[in-house]
Amino acid sequence: MGKIQIFIGKGGVGKSTSSSLFAVRSSEEGTITLLDSFDPAHNLHDIFETKFSGKEKKVLNNLFVRETDMNKISQSYMKSVKKNLKSLYHYQQALNIDKYFNILKFAPGMEEYAAWLALEACYDDTHFDHIIIDTPPTALTMKTLALSSVNLLWLRQLEAMRKEIIEKKNSVGRIRKENLDQLDDDPVYIRLQKMKTRYEKMLRELQDRERTEIVLILNEDELSFSESIQIKEDLTKLGISIARVIINKGEISSIRTKAIAREFVESEIDIIEDYGQSITGFDDLKEHSQQIQRVEK
């Protein structure tokens, strides 16, 4: 099982640049690496000066890059649900299923669910030793990371309700000498269990520091710093810790760097210096990936 690094942070702090540098460095060390962009506003193709799609493309000896299309993931998920609904189609008039499906991708929660499915696919992927995920700006990523916990709350509630229904039915069935329902035969209960298993697995993976490394990117400005503290608090509530902090366009000896080091005591801290221009193309990436500095504590 490979390691998964999830790069998170405020919009514009340099997540794509940092994740690209780390991906190049990892591949140069001989690790088979996948760099995957979840950000709908993909910009890996600008950094690598190469066209990408949802299918991974080999760009260096051990490095593959792809730009996951969340819309496509949503659509194929909808298609699979629709396919299962053939038998329900005579309910359409009352429930407006078809009409509802057309606008479903705009429904609250669908965007982060698509990202959650893409994340799950990364955890199930066995082709790579190391997967680096470049995420959209903070809000959506936080929702995606919180989805497992939120949905588990619902699933546990629904499971308890279903259990109570089956138990009550059986207590009536026993008195009336009717056939009893088994909890394990109830298709709804079975499906609730399956879902619960998936979300619990994902939550375990996210909380496992050996398997998942949450990498927080920030700049030296006040706004970026205070949002990072908020991100840390929100992740702590989910039982997820920040393993690494990258100060993009930072200085190793600045006062802010010291303040960040004090705030993120349990995280490794790396610095990518300000080179005064954008990092684009393979030569730039290879050169600067070797210049990432570690802050000694």
CB atoms closer than 10 angstroms to residue 38: 24
The smaller minimum CB distance to another protein, of residues 160 and 223, is found at 160
How far is the C-alpha of 222 from the C-alpha of 181, rounded, in Å?
60
Beta-strand relationship, 63-67 and 57-60: antiparallel
Give 255's contacts (C-beta < 8 A, 6+ positions apart): none
- Provide, rounded to whole angstroms, the least separation between the CB of residue 88 and another protein: 6
Give 274's contacts (C-beta < 8 A, 6+ positions apart): 249, 250, 251
The smaller minimum CB distance to another protein, of residues 60 and 183, is found at 183
- Provide, rounded to whole angstroms, the least separation between the CB of residue 75 and another protein: 13
- Provide, rounded to whole angstroms, the least separation between the CB of residue 54 and another protein: 21
The smaller minimum CB distance to another protein, of residues 77 and 225, is found at 77
- Provide, rounded to whole angstroms, the least separation between the CB of residue 118 and another protein: 13
- Provide, rounded to whole angstroms, the least separation between the CB of residue 84 and another protein: 4
The smaller minimum CB distance to another protein, of residues 85 and 223, is found at 85
The smaller minimum CB distance to another protein, of residues 145 and 216, is found at 145
Of residues 292, 295, 219, 214, the one with CA closest to residue 21: 292
The smaller minimum CB distance to another protein, of residues 13 and 166, is found at 166
- Provide, rounded to whole angstroms, the least separation between the CB of residue 50 and another protein: 33
CB atoms closer than 10 angstroms to residue 12: 9
Contact 47, 280 (CB under 8 A): yes
- Provide, rounded to whole angstroms, the least separation between the CB of residue 147 and another protein: 7
Structure tokens at 279: 């990092």
Residues of this chain that bind another protein (CB under 8 A): 81, 84-85, 87-88, 91, 94-97, 100, 104, 107-110, 113, 116, 147, 150-151, 154-155, 158, 161-162, 164-165, 168-169, 171-172, 175-177, 187-188, 190-192, 195
Write the Ramachandran bin of 185: left for phi over 0, alpha for psi from -120 to 50, otherwise beta: alpha
The smaller minimum CB distance to another protein, of residues 139 and 190, is found at 190
User: CA-based Rg of the chain, rounded to a whole angstrom?
Assistant: 23
Task: With H, G, I as helix, E, B as strand and everything else as coil, classify residue 85.
Answer: coil
How far is the C-alpha of 179 from the C-alpha of 123, rounded, in Å?
43
The residue assigned the tokens 């989805």 is 147
